[in-house]
Amino acid sequence: MSLSYWDGAYRSEKKIWGRRPSEIALAAAEFAAGAKLETAGRRLLEIGCGYGRDALFLAERWNVKATGVDPSAQAIEMARADLGKNPAHTVEFRCARFQEISDGPYDLVYAANLYQILPPAERGEMGPLLEKLLAPDGRLILGTLSIRDPEHAGKGAAVPADPGSWIDQTYVHLSTREELEERFGFLKFDRLYEREFLETRTGGTNHHHISWILIGRRTGG
């Protein structure tokens, strides 16, 4: 999905999914609370942060120093406009592609709904890069659409030589458990499960989704 598409979407629709945190962020918060995960003062990186709603939510909920990165200048402009909601100044936003990040290690890396819009080559780059960016014992929290997602599965045209990918109005990739286990095999998984939910959009429509929630810890030095 092109950068011009997202710049245009943010310019015309503004906060497309509203101000509340995403379902992936809520799942992350639930896991951290249940696991009694120590987060205060840690470094959090969100890749594909959009207009910043999840980074701001998690920074406040977890008391972390958060960095949100997105290639859309329009999204980052919107995110920075909301920094007044984080008076402790523990959140920063950068306009960049995730492949350009090099200032790790981070204790927590969070990626919601990014993997599913990446073409095959960039999906292949994601795992090795995150392995480098994560500190030892750092955690990756990733949400991406399942192959069973009712909103997109079988809709539009299948992409040749790219199993699980479809083009309707836009490109989307739907993942299997086996794909994620292989792609992020450098992790020891805490959880890998499907979560079904309705995603509210500011245009008044609800999207019915099934997403994988992957939470895993980087082992080794």
Identify the CATH number of the domain in which residue 18 sits: 3.40.50.150
Residue labelled with tokens 């960095």:
67
pLDDT number for residue 13: 64
Percent of the chain with pLDDT over 70: 95
Which residues, other chains included, contact 143 with Cβ-Cβ below 8 Å and sequence gap of 6+? 22, 23, 24, 27, 111, 112, 113, 195, 211, 212, 213, 214
In which domain, by residue range, is 190 found? 3-218
pLDDT at 30 over 90: yes
Query: Helix crossing, 23-35 with 53-62: angle to 10°?
Result: 20
Residue range 95-120, pLDDT digits in tens: 999 999 999 899 999 999 999 999 99
Strands 106-112 and 43-47: parallel
Residue 221 is predicted with a pLDDT of 63
Our count of domains for the chain comes to: 1
pLDDT band at 27 (very low <50, low <70, confident <90, very high): very high
* HSE-up of residue 182 (Cα within 13 Å, Cβ side): 7
Bigger pLDDT: 17 vs 199: 199
pLDDT digits (tens, 9 = 90+) for 171-199: 999 999 999 999 999 999 999 999 999 99
